[in-house]
Amino acid sequence: MLPVPAHEVPKAQIYVIEVHNHINDALGIDEHIPPQRVVEIMDRTNVKIVVILTGMWGNKLQHVIGEMVKPYPGRFMVLLSWTTVRSTIRISARRWCGWWTILSPGAPAGLNF
């Protein structure tokens, strides 16, 4: 391995949008961290938005939205598969784009934000 000097970067110079994360997701992939602690870390490191990839559907999705999205507007989004939810949630297809959709406040009716 090539030895090179390390340069710690404690805070991003411009804000970051974290597009691949499983923090407090519906599957419990990573260890649960209190949401307030997550936001504190985000603020300290200049992370503006985190996209939670495994939102699932139904009660699991509602739990993630209730714990992470609702209390911290504009800080978290939840990603889910359109094919997973299209038969369980009545929505307008015009509001969905592509295979994956990010849910945030203002998403289609039928989800309890």
Chunked mean pLDDT (size 10), the chain, 113 residues: 90 92 88 96 96 82 90 88 52 41 47 42
pLDDT at residue number 97 = 43
Is 11 domain-assigned? no
pLDDT of 53: 85
Q: Which pair of tokens denotes residue 44? A: 């300290």
The residue to which tokens 């710690």 are assigned? 8
| 39 within a domain of the structure (yes/no) | yes
- Report if residue 77 sits inside a domain: yes
CB 58 within 8 A of CB 24: no
Token pair, residue 27, equals 């599957």
Q: What's the pLDDT at 59?
A: 85
Q: Determine, yes or no, domain membership for 6.
A: no
Q: How far apart are CA 113 and CA 105, in angstroms?
A: 6
Task: Confirm whether 80 is domain-assigned.
Answer: yes
Give the count of beta carbons closer than 10 Å to the beta carbon of residue 47.
19
Number of folded domains that form the chain: 1
- Domain membership of residue 20 as a residue range: 16-103
The whole-number pLDDT of residue 42 equals 96
